[in-house]
Structure 1
Amino acid sequence: MPDWQATMISADEEFDGAPLLRGEFTLETGHGEVSSATLHLSALGVVEAWVNDRPVSAELLTPGWTSYEWRIRYRTHDVTEQVLAGGDGPLVIGLALGNGWYRGRLGWSGGRNIYGEQLGGWVQLELTYADGHTAVVTTDTEHWTAGPSAVTANDLYDGEDIDARRRVDGWRAPGFAGDGWTGVHALDLDPVMLEPYVGPPVVRTEERAPQRIWTSPAGKVLVDFGQNLVGWLRVRARGDAGAVITLRHAEVLEHDELGTRPLRTARATDHVTLSGGEDVFEPTFTFHGFRYAEVDGWPGGIDALQADPDALTAVVIGSDLRRTGRFASSHDLLNQFHANVVWGMRGNFVDVPTDCPQRDERLGWTGDIAAFAPSAVYLYDASAFLRDWLRDVAQEAAHADGMVPFVIPDVLKYSPRHVDGTGEPQETTCLWSDAAVWVPWSAWQAYGDLGALAEAYPTMAAHTRRERAQLSANGVWDTGFQFGDWLDPGAPPDDPFKARADIGVVATACAYRTAVLTAAAARLLGHDEDAGEFETQAADLRAAFTREYVDRDGQVVHSDCQTVYALAIVFGLLDEDHQRAAGDRLAALAVESGFRISTGFAGTPFVTDALTLTGHLDEAYGLLLEEGCPSWLYPVTMGATTVWERWDSMLPDGTINPGQMTSFNHYALGAVADWMHRVVGGLAPAEPGYASLLIAPQPGGGLTWAETSLETPHGEAAVHWELDGDRLTVEATVPAGTTATLRLPGREEQTLDPGRHTVTA
């Protein structure tokens, strides 16, 4: 552990939940100029930092959200330039604190101060002088003071209020002594809890201008930014001192007005109070999921705003991920759907992988990422992001006897209401808890990082053993609380638990896949005894599944719906004859439904693969390209720019689904993007980390061309195919140091060396 000398300090007064902290220090003399300066920064809450009135970085919401009970991250920055900017004068460090996840509202039960009641700032600045002398400057109770900021309220759900009249000039300059400033006091912090970031920070990723500004039927000024995004509005305005501009945010319109009901209790509203001069506001202690904004109190009204649309800018934020995977085709709606998947991931990868970014929730639901992880690791380099989050999975599980909770970090354990309404503690649950295994396995397949898999393995093993303990005497998992095939479109809007798929079938199938993957991880890592244990567990589950659920009541798989067939086929639970029969039945169900989708969170990631594996590619494309409700493309026809939580979050008449949970930015149902990359585009790993590739496009659905590319750990891999009648031309790029297996209709398999290739079939 580093030699931490800093103290976590807190303002002696509350200062509206957004205090400023400043420390002023005299640099040592006689050692020459400072040659390097490294600043370590953390907080209880979120923090922005300056050295000598210069920002330390452009990062946002530091130190993010972790399981604060056991680990708090810190960021490290080179601030040599900022220190030197002060010349021979005093060194001033400034911190601005906000509530963030630590003390703000979390969850739909109204909980606040879940992790603590006092905000804190923590800095350790390590200086090296020209002659090699070193010194340390830290947060302490001697050199630091605290005072009010222009922020009068801040909350991730509810928004931020900024009063420009309260802005204090010079608080980051030497010699400042502002009115109302007070002292600070120390907070208890075990330095063992401090960990460096593994994942990337949250940053501004782009800006978007208004696409339309107009007056609604109710006389409200509305602004459309053309894209459902996550971030906030930067405001530039001039008006009377004390005038207030109110900004409300929402994802959709309903009856031509702002559709705020899906936000539930989240106010998602910012207030900015003008100073009388030129003001620029950025509410960086909150974020909103929105496409539309309602603006009230704009100086000069809508005419002034329309004349100066640059006065409002949507600032998009998210974790700083590098885009790696792309897809395009001859089908415009499919291309827009893929873009929606990308935007959904961007908006929900804000430090933790959340379910949604707009309502009073925004939690790290494990089921969502378990379903979406294979798509996520293709679209972006999410290796460090997921590894960081999996450390919180490990902490939460280790402190709950191996039980992986529904959300990570787990705030529901503090909630007075359990999500199923029973008030009972959480218990291991299929798919959701299985994220402890499925997510690291997806990362292993994509990146080939055995170290990351080894780090995740203890939690994988503990979870898999805990699932074994949940099984009934007959060997299947048919008891206890389960989400099951959550949000099956056939379930009533007010009862998403009522899926067509039998709970026991879904849970047992998921438990089997988990045992298989954990056994494989154990073999890779040399834990042969564990591998044998989990292989036996998988074999027992497969036998029990066959005995209890196959050929039951005249059905190939019990409950006879798309999801149970998808899981049984893809997970390998069926013998050859039953596999064939299940594929035929699944295809028949797809045709009978008019290719309307009928899967929820459990079945959606696997249904097109199940059809493909059993020789029903046409039916898989039929599901993918259907435009009626419910389907993947239906939201696109309704103007969606992200993936919805429900297949029909907006009904065909333009009204919002009456269910309580109706988000317009969830990524789970976009999990089919993984199949699009591998089967439509034709690019998949033949070995983990793309040490070798499988290039096997399977055209269908009337598409005349498609392409996909990926920045693999070895370089760019790409596939482009065109179909002219029955003539298929494939252009493939194979990265250096790898080979690819080319598998095309009507041709024997071919090995491709590194380079570019053109092949016709």
Structure 2
Amino acid sequence: MASNSTPDKGISRRVALAAASTVGLTAVSLSTGLPSAEALPALAAEGASASGAGAPSRRAGGWHRYVQGPSSRTVRPVRITTSTGDVKNPNALLKPGGARSVLRRPQPAAAPTWPAGTTAEASSAHAGNNGNDGQPRTYDAGNAIDGNPDTFWNDDTLGVFPDVLTITAPQVTPLRGITVISNSDGVPTDYTVDVWTDGDWHTAATVTGNDAVQKAVPFAEQVSTDRVRITVTHAQDTSHGNFTRINEVWPAPVEPIPIPSVTVDFGKVVVGYPQIRFTSASADSPGVRVAFSETRQFLTDRSDFTRADQAGGAGGGTDQFAVPAKGANWTDHKGFQAGDKVFADGLHGFRYLKISLDALASDSPAAQPWGTVEIDSVALQFTAYVGTPSTYRGWFLCSDDELNRYWYGAAYTNELVTDTFRQDDVDPRNAWSATLEGKLVLQDGAKRDRDPYVGDLAVSARTLYLTHDDAAAAARNVLADLADHQRADGWIPPASIGNYTLPLFDYPLYWVTCSWDYVLYTGDRQYATRYYPTLLKVLDTWYPSVTDDAGLLSKGLNGTGGYGDYAFLGRTGRVTYYNALYVQALQNAAQLAKLLGQQADATRWSTRADNVAQAVNSLLWDTSSGAYLDSSTGAVRHAQDGNSLAVVTGIASADRATSALAHLDATTKRPYGNAFMDNDTLFDQASQRVYAFTSYPEIEARFLTGQAESALDQIRRMYGWMDKNDPGITHWEGIGPNGSLYEDAYTSMAHGWSTGVLPALTNHLLGARPTSPGYATWEVRPRPGGVDWATGQLPTPHGPLGVEWENSARVFRLTVHVPKHTQGSVTFPGDSRGQRVSVGRRTLWDGRRASSRDVSVSDGTVTVAGLGAGDHSFVSELRGN
């Protein structure tokens, strides 16, 4: 890190003069306006190698092609993926003002009914509860014959089969077959249909591999019976598990009339208010149901997620609209169209949108599931931050096309969660807050939860500061609001959810570290002063109340046994992760205290951080595995979060850092990243789960310990997996076994806490980061690994800080463009003993001695300090043997 002491201004002036005369390098614009591609030129032409087709270009604006944001707030789909039923000209939906798409569906005949007095019983039935509309719901067998397709029988044996439904008529009835109407959240996949004849059960039909909600089951021949038994041996897997759900059984085989539908693809995850321009419709109030999904896998006749799934609403998993005969320009806003019928959920995060000519039975007569609908076009009113090349105040480009895609994929993911806090759009579980309404915030996900969580800011706020620091208020608004809701005992809520009461053990520590990050990147001293009392109270009142006699945080003390953490993990006692995060928070708090002249607090917190670090090393290091224990209680396991943070915070010595990271590689390495646990003792398949959130500090730890290639390997496995799998580009909340969506349809596929690849590449590969608030001081310490070249820009309150370097077997060229009113240092990769560092014709380090006191060697690397405003260009050469 650069020293805070006054530098030798002589070398700054001399280096700047030498840099200005370097052939092939031009000066960077130091204006504080928005950056342009020309603001930071490429390295000298003679240093560039030829690139193949599609390879990154260092020419001005070479990074523009990686930017993913829309060009305007009106976003249109890019292709039609499928259409079903009677649909004319589906491609017309892609372009407004031309041909029209037409969906038609005839009115079906009345459904067949059982004779009066028919009864039904089942092997089990789920207990009743209140539905989304707050009204009581039952799930007993009778729902399967009540003539109401909105009610259903739900068995009560999660994942246990068979499930048996028996229907008994009051007299013998001739049957040619039956029709099973199921719920999309529990479609029976494999089942037999038996009938009672001649005093015994006989199999009339067998169904396997079914995925249809309406399944006609014809019998080989007509039978006369008064009893029908359906035995389900497997039901479709859902995010809720394996339950059988049957809405209706009809006493005849009825083939469904195909529902006319069109699915459009926006090409990547988008967020906002969907819009459909209906030009006309038949006069019978035809309904449309609109389903949304981030992936094709979980796009069915219902959305992968709606807020109504959590807190009510009569949507049945889709958004509804009854189309007037004269047409309408419909924007999907939350609410009912007609009284308490025809419900839409409003804003969505999705990639795929499916329009179906259909309606819920409960929406009749306001909407009918038949008729004709003519549609001109589909669009989305994009609500999040619109990131275009002109808005990027920080950017990155390197010789590796994959790394560039991941960096800008992270930037776009973060743009999707940078949005205004609005009552109708946020998590419905008591997360709305008058103190946040209308303010720019960082949500956690585009689809869900859509509530700002402070732990997520530990990653997403850094991503924001390095790309769009003009939106830094999004982080400040969240931090300030949570501080304003601090509990009397000092605990800080993790988010507004649950009226600021969700009990998490680790997130108050993230409030401390994120507050320091905010001040470090923005220089906002006013925020530091305003919320310093909050800092004192959380560190000196609440966390001491959960500290044991060894000085370690111990979950379970002071009534915290039921508190969760970032993944609601059942960990108790002395947990390495909690204590390593505590050390980081204390270190950051000490830095903030020094900024405000509170030296006594800084000393006390630094001393406490050292004591906690010593206790972690003494009590939580597992010699047999060469890694830190996850917890001192329960089964032996070793976690990614605790081991990584122990390295990042300096708790681990160099030897222990190397050992711990080697253990993680040996036990958690997967094709789609590194798992966050090394075994399954915490929960089943924990060792197969990957969180980019906890992988970020591991990637940092590998860069910091000289394992750049290992860090890049982990980036390529994890972010490469997300980049090449649906929905592509954006970064997932979590990855499950074999690279699956770890919580099925519920998984957020665009989550800000997963964007750590961006700060990792900027701060460690490119190598630039602030070392004191507002970039008053900074350092550039490239860790290139096998990357040939990199260039980029960091936004600072004083103007852009630009860095560009070129890496070959024997020569490393580095140029830094420094804004006014800042000073910093550069550290060169490689072993100082065989290195010659020069600027222009002047040698600064010859492999044995320095030519100025601003040149120093520490841990075998050469650092040049005292660099002020202007352009500074260096060459580091490996000397021959």
What is the TM-score normalised by the length of structure 1? Answer: 0.62
**Paired letter, 2:528:** L
1:524-563 map, 5 Å: 524-550=595-621, 555-559=626-630, 560-563=638-641
Which is further off, 434-443 or 589-598? 589-598
Q: Aligned match of 1:206 in 73, 88, 95?
A: 73
Q: Is the 8 A contact 1:396 1:410 kept in 2?
A: no
Instruction: Tell me whether 1:572 sits opposite 2:650 in the alignment.
Output: yes
Q: Aligned match of 1:233 in 250, 267, 274?
A: 274
Counterpart position of 2:799: 715
Unaligned runs of 5+ in 2: 1-69, 85-257, 335-345, 359-368, 421-440, 631-637, 677-690, 830-834, 838-861, 877-881
1:632-651 map, 5 Å: 632-639=719-726, 640-648=728-736
What is the alpha-carbon distance in structure 1 between the residues aligned to residue 564 and residue 804 of structure 2?
Answer: 38
What is the alpha-carbon distance in structure 2 between the residues aligned to residue 585 and residue 388 of structure 1?
Answer: 37
The C-alpha deviation readout for 1:218-261, integer Å capped at 9, x for no partner, is 86310100120210222222103644443222111117747834
What is the alpha-carbon distance in structure 2 between the residues aligned to residue 391 and residue 718 of structure 1?
Answer: 31
Q: Is the 8 A contact 1:228 1:289 kept in 2?
A: yes
The C-alpha deviation readout for 1:566-597, integer Å capped at 9, x for no partner, is 111111223xxx33232244135325655741
Distance 1:244 1:400, change over 3 A: farther
| 1:336 CA displacement | 2.3
Q: Is the 8 A contact 1:583 1:610 kept in 2?
A: no
Distance 1:521 1:693, change over 3 A: closer
What is the alpha-carbon distance in structure 2 between the residues aligned to residue 544 and residue 350 of structure 1?
Answer: 42
**Paired letter, 2:819:** P
1:711-750 map, 5 Å: 711-745=795-829, 746=835, 747=837, 748-750=862-864
Instruction: Tell me whether 1:402 sits opposite 2:490 in the alignment.
Output: yes
Q: Aligned match of 1:353 in 425, 428, 442?
A: 442
**Paired letter, 1:680:** L
Distance 1:412 1:447, change over 3 A: closer
What is the alpha-carbon distance in structure 2 between the residues aligned to residue 428 and residue 320 of structure 1?
Answer: 32
Counterpart position of 2:482: 393
| 1:276 CA displacement | 4.0
Q: Is the 8 A contact 2:443 2:752 kept in 1?
A: no
Q: Is the 8 A contact 1:252 1:258 kept in 2?
A: no
Counterpart position of 1:250: 293
Identity over the aligned pairs, expressed in percent?
23
1:484-503 map, 5 Å: 486=566, 497=569
What is the alpha-carbon distance in structure 2 between the residues aligned to residue 485 and residue 598 of structure 1?
Answer: 17
1:111-260 map, 5 Å: 206-216=73-83, 220-240=261-281, 242-254=285-297, 257=300, 260=303
Instruction: Tell me whether 1:296 sits opposite 2:385 in the alignment.
Output: no
| Partner-residue secondary structure (3-state), 1:254 | coil
Distance 1:252 1:342, change over 3 A: same
| Partner-residue secondary structure (3-state), 2:755 | helix
| Partner-residue secondary structure (3-state), 2:379 | strand
| 1:605 CA displacement | 2.8
Distance 1:324 1:458, change over 3 A: farther
What is the alpha-carbon distance in structure 1 between the residues aligned to residue 784 and residue 573 of structure 2?
Answer: 33
Instruction: Tell me whether 1:625 sits opposite 2:691 in the alignment.
Output: no
Distance 1:315 1:458, change over 3 A: same
**Paired letter, 2:474:** F
What is the alpha-carbon distance in structure 1 between the residues aligned to residue 759 and residue 276 of structure 2?
Answer: 39
What is the alpha-carbon distance in structure 1 between the residues aligned to residue 658 and residue 371 of structure 2?
Answer: 61
Unaligned runs of 5+ in 1: 1-202, 414-425, 488-495
| 1:304 CA displacement | 6.5
Q: Is the 8 A contact 2:503 2:563 kept in 1?
A: no
What is the alpha-carbon distance in structure 2 between the residues aligned to residue 535 and residue 213 of structure 1?
Answer: 59
| Partner-residue secondary structure (3-state), 1:314 | strand
Aligned residues: 520
| 1:210 CA displacement | 1.2
Q: Is the 8 A contact 1:565 1:583 kept in 2?
A: no
**Paired letter, 1:358:** K
The C-alpha deviation readout for 1:398-437, integer Å capped at 9, x for no partner, is x443211232365363xxxxxxxxxxxx54611x121321
Distance 1:437 1:601, change over 3 A: farther
| Partner-residue secondary structure (3-state), 2:696 | coil
The C-alpha deviation readout for 1:426-481, integer Å capped at 9, x for no partner, is 54611x12132111111111011111111222222211121121112222123234
Distance 1:648 1:427, change over 3 A: closer
The C-alpha deviation readout for 1:370-397, integer Å capped at 9, x for no partner, is 3433223222224322222222112211
| Partner-residue secondary structure (3-state), 1:742 | strand
Q: Aligned match of 2:452 in 364, 379, 384?
A: 364
What is the alpha-carbon distance in structure 2 between the residues aligned to residue 269 and residue 204 of structure 1?
Answer: 29
Q: Is the 8 A contact 1:732 1:756 kept in 2?
A: yes
Counterpart position of 2:17: none
Q: Aligned match of 1:467 in 543, 553, 567?
A: 543
**Paired letter, 2:378:** L
Counterpart position of 2:788: 704
Q: Aligned match of 1:329 in 368, 382, 398?
A: 398
What is the alpha-carbon distance in structure 1 between the residues aligned to residue 372 and residue 639 of structure 2?
Answer: 53
Counterpart position of 2:511: 436
Larger radius of gyration: 2
**Paired letter, 1:590:** D
What is the alpha-carbon distance in structure 2 between the residues aligned to residue 567 and residue 412 of structure 1?
Answer: 27
| Partner-residue secondary structure (3-state), 1:715 | coil
Which is further off, 723-732 or 261-270? 261-270
| 1:634 CA displacement | 0.9
| 1:316 CA displacement | 1.3
Instruction: Tell me whether 1:316 sits opposite 2:382 in the alignment.
Output: yes
What is the alpha-carbon distance in structure 1 between the residues aligned to residue 411 and residue 562 of structure 2?
Answer: 29
What is the alpha-carbon distance in structure 2 between the residues aligned to residue 256 and residue 317 of structure 1?
Answer: 23
Distance 1:584 1:343, change over 3 A: same
What is the alpha-carbon distance in structure 2 between the residues aligned to residue 524 and residue 515 of structure 1?
Answer: 14
**Paired letter, 2:817:** T
Instruction: Give the alignment's Cα RMSD to 1 decimal.
Output: 3.4
**Paired letter, 2:277:** R
| Partner-residue secondary structure (3-state), 2:292 | strand
The C-alpha deviation readout for 1:670-692, integer Å capped at 9, x for no partner, is 22321111111222113321123
Q: Is the 8 A contact 1:468 1:537 kept in 2?
A: no
Counterpart position of 1:687: 772
**Paired letter, 1:224:** D
**Paired letter, 1:665:** A
What is the alpha-carbon distance in structure 1 between the residues aligned to residue 577 and residue 693 of structure 2?
Answer: 7
The C-alpha deviation readout for 1:333-371, integer Å capped at 9, x for no partner, is 322222221222122222332222324x32222222234
Counterpart position of 1:68: none
| Partner-residue secondary structure (3-state), 2:272 | strand
The C-alpha deviation readout for 1:695-748, integer Å capped at 9, x for no partner, is 222212x43232221221111222233334443333432223333422223434
Q: Which structure exhibits the higher relative contact order, with contacts defined as CA atoms closer than 8 Å and separated by 6 or more residues? A: 2
| Partner-residue secondary structure (3-state), 1:253 | coil
| 1:657 CA displacement | 4.0
| 1:694 CA displacement | 1.7
